[in-house]
Structure 1
């Protein structure tokens, strides 16, 4: 993994650079203990569009390979299509939706018996820019959310 600085940004060469980046960024101020690189359950793709609502702390990834949609972690419980925005990268400049690799970092409670918080990070497929979409606390602590990245 090679992450390089480019001014105010970090640049990753491939999807695996998201592991190091997610760990460094943390989640809601907590250390990240588990990281899931997002992969489409239907086609295996790793390139997505990302939609979400920062106020409601929801996120949905849209697979570029098969158009499948997947709510990240507990987002499906709070999803509202009328309040979503799209993730864009400054490399394009036209505010159209771009393609990203996505990773979700999870902070676990001491003893690893529950999820405290999560953070969604991304890598622009076009320019390699690493970014941070959002993070939020997981009040239920449900460990099955690790499988819903």
Structure 2
């Protein structure tokens, strides 16, 4: 991994660094077996804003290329717009939403037939800082959620 440390943060240069960071962070204390880089289904973009509710464990990414919104995993089933916050990076110095590359790490049950937990990680496009948004146990273990990063 080509990350470097500074001020108690890790920094990455590319998608490979973000994938390695996601694996190293784990999900709800479990090993991450699969990592999916978020890509916009509409335009193929890789830069997003991230909104979510850390209490209810929901997340939605907003494509900076075309404006499409994509829920991560089953977040759309539990979404409450009135409770959401935005992900920011300290490099900007304000509370405005920044641009991120996002990856979702999945911990699978033995045999790979279900998802135990997931974790959302990010890389700030402006400064390269690697970060961790949230993780949660997956309700029902639905394996199809691998394709809803």
Would you call these one fold, judging by a TM-score over 0.5? yes
**How big is the shift at 1:65?**
0.0
The equivalent residue for 2:27 is: 27
Aligned equivalent of 1:107: 107
Shift of 1:14: 1.3
Q: How much does 1:6 deviate?
A: 1.2
Aligned partner of 1:16 in structure 2 is: 16
Q: What value does the CA root-mean-square deviation take over the aligned residues?
A: 0.7
Distance in 1 (alpha carbons) for counterparts of 2:14 and 2:112: 29
- 3-state secondary structure, aligned to 1:121: strand
Counterpart Cα distance in 1 of 2:7 and 2:52 = 27
Question: What is aligned with 1:60?
Answer: 60
What are structure 2's unaligned runs of at least 5 residues?
none
Deviation by residue 1:22-46 (Cα, 9 ceiling, x = unmatched): 0000000000000000000000000
SS at match of 2:140: coil
Which structure 1 residue ranges, 4+ long, deviate > 2 Å from structure 2?
Answer: none
**Other-structure match for 2:39:** 39
Any gaps of 5 or more consecutive residues in structure 1? none
After TM superposition, the structure 1 = structure 2 runs for residues 130-145 of structure 1, keeping only pairs within 5 Å, are 130-145=130-145
After TM superposition, the score normalised by the length of structure 2 is 0.98
State how far apart, in whole Å, the 2-side matches of 1:113 and 1:28 are: 18
Instruction: Give the distance between the partners of 2:54 and 2:93, measured in 1 at CA.
Output: 21
Cα distance between partner residues in 2 of 1:17 and 1:73: 22
* 1:76 counterpart residue number: 76
> How many angstroms does 1:139 deviate by?
2.3
In structure 2, C-alpha distance between the alignment counterparts of 1:137 and 1:128, rounded to whole Å: 28
Aligned residues: 149
Distance 2:38 2:17 in 1: 13
